[in-house]
Amino acid sequence: MNPQFHADLDTVLASAATPGRASAMRAYMRDQFDFLGVGTPQRRLAAKPFLKRLKGSGADNLLLCASELWERPQREYQYVAIDLLAMHSKELNLAHIPELLRLAQNKSWWDTVDALASVISDILHYRHDGMDQALSHDNMWVRRIALLHQLGWRDKVDVDRLFRYCLALAHEKEFFIQKAIGWALRDYARHDPEAVRAFTQKEKHRLSALSYREANKHLATP
């Protein structure tokens, strides 16, 4: 990647930073990551012109840039990497999903993992290539992506797959898996509330209390 890109990005992000905000952002992320102190709207506004210039540069270049940004110490650079991938997701294809899953396993937390799940969802475009393997992956965050890859698909959701994935991981005690199960079901309930209600009632003994509660959060009591 052109060093000038990184230098220019450093400059605009430093200018967009709010003094004193970095410590609050770090605390919100449980002191796991350093921050520059740039809010999401300010970051996207500052970085957008530089990211737009990469249009048509090719998937390999986009992924290289994202990988380089991922290695930077401040969290905003991982967010810029995700903005880059989301902006140019049409230049990526199914062959690039393993690289996105690799990024998800580095500096992992819900913020980057869920954003990468959205990029992967766009690439899949109502397909499920690699998601069965992701569901059984050793890394919990990759399994979370498998659970969430159909978010927003509404009538294009593979309902049998959704329910099967939820049950496959229902035994896990990990909060972020239990939460993802509930989130995936709640999202589909916006399209077919009766299907989700029937499924959660039938499988209540297998679902965690958290998953069940999240799935039914916006469903009226029958």
pLDDT value of residue 121 = 98
Instruction: Indicate whether 221 pLDDT > 80.
Output: no
Q: Does 69 fall in a domain? A: yes
Total structural domains in the chain? 1
Q: Flag whether 78 is in a domain.
A: yes
Question: Is residue 222 very low, low, confident or very high in pLDDT (cuts 50, 70, 90)?
Answer: low
Say whether pLDDT at 220 is over 90: no
pLDDT at 1 over 70: no
Please report the pLDDT score of residue 96 as a whole number. Answer: 98
CATH number, domain of 62, equals: 1.25.10.90
* Residue 207 lies inside a defined structural domain of this protein: no
Whether residue 129 is contained in a domain is answered as no
Domain of residue 81: give its range.
1-92
Is 88 a member of any domain? yes
Sign of CA dihedral 83, 157, 221, 202: negative
Cα separation, 183 vs 173, whole angstroms: 16
pLDDT in tens, 142-190: 999 999 999 999 999 999 999 999 999 999 999 999 999 999 999 999 9
Is residue 1 assigned to a domain? yes
- Classify residue 55: in a domain, yes or no: yes
- pTM here? 0.95
Q: What CA–CA distance (Å, rounded) separates 73 from 187?
A: 33
120, part of any domain: no
